[in-house]
Amino acid sequence: MAVDLKGRDFLSLKDFTVEELWQFIKTAEMMKLRQKAGEAHNPLNGKTLGMIFQKASTRTRVSFEVAAWQLGGYALYLSANDLQLGRGETVSDTGKVLSRYLDGIMIRTYEQSDVEELAEAASIPIINGLTDLLHPCQVLADLQTVYEKFGRLEGLKLAFVGDGNNMAHSLMYGCAKMGMRCAIATPPEYGPDEEVTMAAREIAAQAGGDILVTSDIAKAVHGADVVYTDVWASMGQEEQTSARHKAFAPYQVTEAVMAKTEKEQSIFMHCLPAHRGEEMSAGVIDGRWSVVFDQAENRLHAQKAILALVM
C-alpha cells in the first residue's frame, strides 16, 4: 500500500519507516524503467526546487537539476554567494522567505543543525543533500543499487572501510532500517559518531540486522556482500591530508581485501569522487567487483523518487 509522503522533509533515513524507504526505492526503480523506455512523467509540472550549495558538488547538483527537469519542474541553483546567508541573514529567515517562492529546497552544507533549522522554519519540504554528519540521498541510491544486484536487502552484509564519516553514518542507518548487517572498519581515532552508532544499533535490533564497529578490516569484510569505501579526507579536511593518509594507509581496499569476503558475488561501492591508489586500488574500482557507476547513475533515479514523493 502506498504511503503518502507529500510535504515530508528528507533529512535522515532514520526518520522513515521500512515501508516508506521501500516506497522511495520502488519509486526510483519505476522512474528508472520509465526513463529507459522513453516515457514522459511530469509530476513536478509548474514546481520549482531551490538548490542551496555551501559545498561544491558534481553528482548532487547534476542529479537533482536533471531530476527536476525530467519530472517537469525547474531547479534553481543558489550558491552561498547568491544568498544573504553569506551576509548574516539567519537560516530561519531564509527558510521562511524561500518558502514563499519555492515548492521544495535541497541544501548541501556543513552543519546538520543548519538543515534542521531550515526544515523547522520552512513550510515546504527540505531535502538534505549532504552535511558533515549525514548523506541520506547517496545511501538511498546505494540501497537501490544493492537491491538491483541481489534482489533483496534483508540479511545482506555491507562492510564500510575507511573514515567514520557522514557516509558511514547514513549507511548504518540505512542498513539498520532494512534489516542488513553493517560493519564499519576504521582506524580507532576515526570511528563513527557514538550517538549515531547507538541509534543505529537500536534500529538494527528491531529490524533483525546488526551494527559492528571495529578496527579489524578482515573481521569487517568477512562474509560481506558489499564492500564500500570513501575518500580519506572529505571536503573541508584537506589540511589533515598527511595525517589521514598515514592513519588510513592500512585501510586501502585492495584485491586481497575483496578476497577476504570469501564471496564470489561480492560487489564494491564508492560514493565518488575516488582517488585510485589511496582508499582503493585501481584494480578494485575498475575491476569485476565494481558497481560504482551504477551507483552514480542511481543518484538520478533516487533523487527523482524523493522529489516526486515529497514535493
Catalytic residue among 8, 59, 135, 270: 135
Residue 276 is among the residues annotated as catalytic for this protein: no
Alpha helices in the chain (DSSP H): 18-36, 59-70, 91-98, 112-121, 136-150, 166-177, 194-207, 217-221, 241-248, 255-259, 282-285, 292-310
Residues 6+ apart with CB under 8 A from 186: 161, 162, 163, 164, 168, 192, 213, 215, 251
pTM to 2 decimal places: 0.97
Residue 142 is among the residues annotated as catalytic for this protein: no
> Percentages helix, strand, coil for the chain, rounded to the nearest 5?
50, 15, 35
Where is 52: in which H helix or E strand?
strand 48-53
Residue 135 is among the residues annotated as catalytic for this protein: yes
Catalytic residue among 54, 70, 138, 303: 138
- Domains of the chain (ranges; CATH) run 13-134+300-310 (3.40.50.1370), 137-296 (3.40.50.1370)
Catalytic residue among 137, 175, 182, 271: 271
Catalytic residue among 108, 169, 181, 244: 108
- pLDDT tens string for the chain (311 positions)? 588 999 999 999 999 999 999 999 999 999 999 999 999 999 999 999 999 999 989 999 999 999 999 999 999 999 978 888 767 889 999 999 999 999 999 999 999 999 999 999 999 999 999 999 999 999 999 999 999 999 999 999 999 999 999 999 999 999 999 999 999 999 999 999 999 999 999 999 999 999 999 999 999 999 999 999 999 987 666 667 788 999 999 999 999 999 999 999 999 999 999 999 999 999 999 999 999 999 999 999 999 999 999 99
Residue 114 is among the residues annotated as catalytic for this protein: no
Residue 182 is among the residues annotated as catalytic for this protein: no
- Three-state DSSP state, 229: strand
∠217-195-108 over CA atoms, to 5°? 85
Residue 237 is among the residues annotated as catalytic for this protein: no
Put the strands of the sheet holding 157-161 in their side by side order.
210-214, 181-185, 157-161, 226-229, 267-270
Query: What are the grid coordinates assigned to 241, written together?
Result: 591530508
